[in-house]
Structure 1
Amino acid sequence: MNSANGSAWDDWDDEVDLLVFGAGAAGMTAALIAHHEGLNVLVCEKTAAVGGITSTSGGTTWVPGTQLSVDAGVPDSVDDARRFLQSVVGARGGDAAREAFLQSGPLAIDELQRISDVKFVAAAAHPDYVTGPGAAFGGRALAPLPFDARVLGKDFARVRPPRKEFMGLGGMMVNRNDLGALLSPFASVGNLKRTLEVVGRYCVDRLSYPRGTQLVMGNALAARLYYSLRKRDVPVRFDAPLVELIREQGRVTGAVAGSADGSRRRIRARLGVVLATGGLTRHPVLRKQLFPVAAQPLSLSPDTHTGDGIASALAAAARLEDGGDSPGLWMPCSIRRAPDGNDHVWPHIILDRAKPGLIAVNSRGERFVNESNSYHDFVMGMLRDAGDGQSVPAHLIVDAAFIRDYGLGLLMPGRSRARIAEFERSGYLVKGDTLEQLASKLGVDAAGLARTVQAYNRDAAAGKDPAFNRGASPMSRFNGDPAQKPNPCIRPLGDGPYYAVTVWPADLACSAGLSGTANGEVLDANGAVIPGLFACGNDLASIFRGTYPGPGTTLGPAIVFGWRIAKFVAGKLDQAPAGERSRATACANQPS
C-alpha cells in the first residue's frame, strides 16, 4: 500500500523500531540482536508456534572460522573457507554477500553465545559436502546444544514440534549420538544404561507434557532462540501473518498484520521491516514458475510457508532471483501411507544411502549418481535425468543383509521378519526374490537392472566404483561404515531376496528469493535499495547460488544475515563491505 504524504497512516495501531515477520532462526536472531542493541522490536509470527523449518531441521549451522572450531580442536580459517566457496560457487555471483557472511559469521556466533541462551558446539568431524581447495573435515558445522524445554513452562507449546518421523515412542527426540544405543539396547551394558536414561526421562516428561522436553537438533535451536527472546521480554505476536507492506514516498514504513480473530493492525516500523517468513516453497504460483515439474509435488517445508514475505515484497517492486543452479535445496524422500491415510515422509539423509551394499537406480535400471553424495546433490542427479521421468522417482535397492545391518528408510536396522512383512504390506518396502521379480514390481527395466548389479558387484568386490567414484570423498566415507574394508561405502549385493524403497525429490528450503545487499536490504527491479525493507533466511536469495557446500548452509546464512540486519539498522555494523552501505542508513536514522 502506498501513501503520497503519509496522512492515510497518521493513526497507527502500534509503533516499533524494527518489525520482524517470521519466528524462525533468521527472524528470531534479528529480533534478539536488535533488542540487545537497544531497539524496540516486535516479532509477528504467522502460526501459533515459533520455529518454522528450523524446528524440523537437523539444526546444523555452517559458519566458518569461529572460536568454537578452535575449542573443538579443529581450528578453521576464514581464508580457507573463502577459497572453498570460490571453488564451489565460482563465477555465479553474490561475491559481496558471501564475503560479508565470512566476515560476520564468527562475530555473530560469538555474540549469540555471549549474550543469549543460544549455544553451539563445533563438530570435530562433519565434513563439507563438496571437495575442493579449502574444504574442511570439521569445525565449520556447528550443532546446537540439547535444550531442556521445561524452563519454558507452558510456553513449551509455542515451539513447533519436529517431524513425527524423527520422534520415537510418539514424542521423544533422540540425539544422533544416542541412536546406536537405542537401536541396540542389549548390545552392551553402556547401551542399556543410556537407553534407560533417555527413555526414562521421556516417560517422566509425558506425565506433564505433550512430548519429550529434551530437545535436540533444530528443535533445540528454535527453543533456545525463543527462550532468549522471552527472557528479554521481546514480544512475539502469534497468529499474525503479514498482509501487506506500507510504503510512503518510496520507503517501507510499516506493515499490516493479521490476527487470529480476523482483525488487522497497522504497525509502524521506524527503522525497518524484516522479512523472514520462510521463503516461497509453498507459494502456489512461484513454485510452479521456478521449480522443476518433477520436484513440485513434495515439500518438507511447513504448509504455512506460502511466500507471504516474498509476495509482499514483489508487490513493492522488489526483484526476485531464481536461485542460480537450482531454485530449491533438496532431499530424497520415501513415503509410507499409514492406515489412517496420513503420509509418513522420510528424508534419506545419513542413515542408509552412503552405506555399503545400496544402489540407486532409475527406470532404466541404471545407476545415475554417486549414492553417497549429499542429499542435495543426490537429488540434483535425479533432476538432471528427469526430463523424460527416468530418474524421478528413483529406487534404493539392497539385499537382506543390508536391512539387518543398516535398515532402509523408515525401517530401522535389525527388524524382525514380521516387521519387514508389515512394511511390505503397506507398499513402502518392495521385495523381490530375484532381481527380475523386483524390477517387475518397481516398473524398471529388468535387463538394465541385471547389467547394473553385475557391473556394480564386479567392481565392489575390489572396493571400487569407477562409474561414480563412490567412497572417494571425506563426506561419503564419513557417512559410510568404517568396518567395511577397503571402502566404507562399497560392498556387493548378495543373493536374493532383494528390497527397495522408492524416493522422490522434496525441497527442504529454497535458493530462489529476494535480491538483497550484503546487509539484507531488499533491492528493486533496477538494483536500487528499497529503503526500510530487509530480508533474511529463505526470503533472501541464497548466497551460494543453488549450490550446497556443507551441512547447515541454510541456517548459517539465516543467522548471520539476521545478525547483520540488526547491527546495520542499529548503526553498529562498523565495517560493511565496500559499496554496500546505502542511503538506507541515512533514511533509517532520520527523525520521524
Structure 2
Amino acid sequence: MHDDAPPDDETYDLVVIGAGAAGMTAALTAALHGLRVVLCEASDQLGGTTATSAGTLWVPGNGHGIEAGHDDTREAAARYLEALQGPDDAHGLRRAFLDTAAEAIDFLERHSSVHFQSAGRHPDYMPLPGAAESGRALSPVEFDGRLLGSHFARVRPPMPDFMVLGGMMLGKADVQALIRRYRSPRAFVRSARLLARHAVDRLRYPRGTRLVLGNALVARLYDSLLRTGVPVRFGCALASLVRQEGRVVGATVVSGGRIDRLQARRGVVLATGGIGHGSALRRRLGIDPRIESLAFAGVRGDGIDAALAGGAALTCHLPALFWQPVSRVPDGAGGYRLFPHLYLDRPKPGLIAVDAHGRRFVNEASSYHHFSEAMLAHPDTAMPCYLICDADFVRRYGLGVIPPGTRRTGPWERRGYGLRAATLTELAGRLGIEAEALSETVAANNRHAREGVDPDFGKGSTILNRFNGDPSHQPNPCLGIIARPPFHALPVWPADAASSAGLATDADGVVLDEAGRGIAGLYACGNDMASVMRGAYPGPGTTLGPVIVFAYRVGRHAARTVSPAHEERHAPA
C-alpha cells in the first residue's frame, strides 16, 4: 500500500475493483443507497467467472421458495449448516448470511433489474438434519440481451460448450426440450421457438441474446448499473491500495498504460475473483500443481495480493477451493479447454468411474464437489479417473461434450476426446489398466443395476442422486448396465471453480489484519473474501448465494459508514 493520499480530482465515495457478480452487486447496492461509486474491471468484458457459471444461488428462506409453497426456513438452514460445519465463527458470518439472505434478494428485486425465480426441486447436497429438497435454490430470470443495446458486447460469453448453433444459450429445461423435440408436442414447440429466436438474433448479433444461467445474472446486474449511472472502467487493473493514517483511502489503477489514483471517501472494495490462477497464492495454499482452474483467465488473486501486502490476514479453509470434475476438450490447435461434468452424465444409469486399477472409488452421482473430493483423496490413482459407459449410454445421455443422440463417436476420438473399444479388455489395454479388474467392476455394476441397489457406494440412494438420475429408468434411476459395444472411456480431473480460502473479514466484509482488527476503508466480497461455508459445500449455488448476500452487506455498510471527510465537513465551528 502507498502511504500518501491521491489527489482530489478523481474522488468517489466507493471504489470497487472487479466486475463479477460480487463487485457489481456491491457497487449497485452502494449506489442505490446514494453513494458515488466507480467500478473498475481489468478486462474488456464484465461478469468474470459468474458469466460462465450456472448462475444458481443458495439462499435459505428466500421469498420465491416460500411463495412457491416450499417448506424452508432460516432455522432449518441453520441446523443444516451446524451439522455440516460445526459452530459459527467468532465474527458471526454464518448468522449474518442467514439473517440477511432473503433481505438482500428482496432489496435487489425492488430497486433494480435483478430478478430471480425459485429453482423448485433442487436438493441440498448432504443428507443431514435441516437439509432441504426444494426452495433454497434460486435462478436468475432469463434476460433479453437486446435491452443492453451496444453494451451487450461487454457481457462475457458463457463457455462455448454451453452454447449450440454458434451462440445459443440453453438452460436445463431447454436441453431436455431439444432432446425430446420429436417425442413431445410441447418440447417441439419450445425447440422451434428457441431456434427461431436464435436465427433472428444471428442476423444482428455475434451470439444469441436470450440469456440464461450466470449470463442472465451478469446482464441484469449490468443493466441495473447502467440505469443507476454507475460508471464502469474497462481495462482498469488494480495496481495498489492507498493508505493514509492507517485507513485505506483509495487505489492506484493501471489503465491504457497510464497510472491513475482514485480517492475513496468510504473505502475500496476488493472483488477480483479470488485465488483463481494466482500461482503464488496456489503455492502458498499447497494446491497440487496438476489441478487447473475453471475461473476466468483474468482471475489471478490480484485483490488478495494487494490486501496481504498491506497487512491483511488470509483465512485458509480446508479445502481451500471448491471443486468440479472436468474433461479436457481439444481445441484443434494443440491446446484444450475444460468442460465441467456437473449432472448431465455422472449420475445417469449406465456409467461408472474407475481409478487406475480399474476399480470404482466413489458414488458417481455425488455432487460435483464431493465427487472431486474423492479424486483428491486418491491423487495417485484417481487423477485422472475414467468415466466408463457403453454405446447405448452415449446415444441416450451423451458423454461430456459429446451430445445425446450421437451414434458415431469416431470423430470425437480422432480429435483426442476420449477412447472407445470393441471390448472391455481392449479398452483396459488402451487405458493401461488391468483388464480383469475392469471386467469385474463392470460385471458388479451390471449385477447391482438389475437388483437396483449399489452396496459399495450407494449410487441412487439419496434424494440428490435420484434427482439428477433418470426417473424413467427403473428400479434405480442411477444404475444401468454397461453391455453394448463400443465401450467408452473419458478421463476426468478435479478442477477448482471458486475459492473457499480468502481474506479474513467481519460480517460486513471489512477486511481484518493479522491481529483480527478491521482495516478501515477496506472491504472484500465474492471469492476475495474467505467463504462463509469454510470449505463445506451444502448445495446448489454455494458460491453465488453468499457472493450476492455479502456484497449487499458491503454496499450497505459502506453507505452507513461516516467517512473522515464527511466528519470534517460537518464538524461544529
Instruction: Give me the TM-score of the superposition, normalised by structure 2.
Output: 0.96
1:48-88 deviation digits (Å, cap 9, x = unpaired): 11100111100001110011111222142000000011111
Measure how far apart 1:204 and its partner are.
0.7
Seen in structure 2, the aligned counterparts of structure 1 residues 304 and 397 have a Cα distance that, compared at 3 Å, is: same
| Structure 2 counterpart of 1:440, one-letter code | G
Query: Which of residues 465, 471, 487 is equivalent to 1:482?
Result: 471
2:405 is the alignment partner of 1:409? no
Matches of 1:522 and 1:336 in 2, distance apart?
39
1:307 alignment counterpart = 301
The letter for the 2-side match of 1:354 is P
Indicate which of 268, 273, 284 corresponds to 1:273: 268
Alignment of 1:163 onto 2:129: no
Choose which of 445, 451, 461 in structure 2 pairs with 1:472. Answer: 461
SS at 1:117 equivalent: coil
Query: Are 2:493 and 1:532 equivalent residues in the alignment?
Result: no
Q: Which moved more, 1:142-151 or 1:435-444?
A: 435-444
1:450 and 2:439 correspond: yes
Residues matched between the structures, number:
569
* One-letter amino acid of the structure 2 residue matched with residue 469 of structure 1: G
Look up the equivalent residue of 2:32 and give its one-letter code. H
Q: 1:370 to 1:588 in 2, by over 3 A?
A: farther
Partner residue of 1:576? Answer: none
Q: Is the CA contact (8 Å cut-off) linking 2:241 and 2:306 kept in structure 1? A: yes
1:212 match: 208
Question: Contact 1:366 / 1:448 at 8 angstroms: preserved in 2?
Answer: yes
Q: Distance in 1 between matches of 2:370 and 2:566?
A: 44
Task: Show the 5 A alignment for 1:171-186.
Answer: 171-186=167-182
Q: Compute the displacement of 1:241 (Å).
A: 0.7
2:32 equivalent in structure 1: 36
1:398–1:500 Cα contact (<8 Å) kept:
yes
- Partner SS for 2:495: strand
- Aligned CA distance change for structure 1 residues 10 and 507 (closer, same or farther; 3 Å): closer
Conserved? CA contact 2:91–2:506, under 8 Å: no
Q: Deviation per CA, 1:99-128: give whole Å up to 9, x if none.
A: 100000010001111111100001220111
Q: Which of 376, 384, 400 is the matching residue for 1:383?
A: 376
Shift of 1:448: 2.2
Q: What is the letter of the counterpart of residue 2 of structure 1? A: H
Where does residue 240 of structure 1 map in the other structure?
Answer: 236
> Which of the residues 240, 251, 254 maps onto 1:255?
251
2:340 equivalent in structure 1? 347
**1-structure distance, mates of 2:468, 2:91:** 31
**Inter-CA distance 295–327: structure 2 relative to 1 (3 Å threshold):** farther
Change (3 A) 1:447 1:95: farther
- SS where residue 155 of structure 1 aligns? helix
Contact 2:271 2:527 in 1 (8 A): yes
Q: Please name the residue that 1:575 is paired with.
A: none
Of residues 282, 287, 292, the one that matches 1:292 is: 287
Counterpart position of 1:331: 324
Task: Give the structure 2 partner of residue 133 of structure 1.
Answer: 129
Residues 513-568 of structure 1: CA deviation (Å, up to 9, x unaligned): 10110110101111111111000000001111111111111111110001001111
Shift in Å at residue 591 of structure 1? 3.5
1:313-364 Cα distance to aligned partner (Å, 9 max, x none): 0011011112x22111111111121333342422100100000111001101
Aligned to 1:193: 189
How far is 1:292 from its partner? 3.1
- Cα gap change, 1:393/1:589 in structure 2, threshold over 3 Å: closer, same or farther? farther
Supply the RMSD in Å over aligned alpha carbons. 1.6
Q: Distance in 1 between matches of 2:439 and 2:230?
A: 62
Please state how far the C-alpha of 1:186 moved relative to its aligned partner.
Answer: 2.4
Residue type of the partner of 2:309?
Answer: A
Confirm or deny: 8 A CA contact 1:72 1:121 kept in the other structure. Answer: no
SS of structure 2 residue aligned to 1:570: helix
Q: Distance in 2 between matches of 1:288 and 1:89?
A: 26
Whether 2:120 is the aligned partner of 1:124: answer: yes
Which one of the candidate residues 347, 354, 373 is aligned to 1:361?
A: 354
Q: TM-score, normalised by structure 1?
A: 0.93
Q: Which ranges of structure 2 fall in alignment gaps of 5 or more residues?
A: none
Work out the percentage of aligned pairs sharing the same amino acid.
48
Kept in 2: contact 1:352–1:407 (CA 8 A): yes
Q: What CA deviation, in whole Å up to 9, does each residue of 1:387-411 have, x standing for no partner?
A: xx21000100001111111111111
Structure 1: gaps of 5 or more residues: 572-583
Q: Is the 8 A contact 1:274 1:535 kept in 2?
A: yes
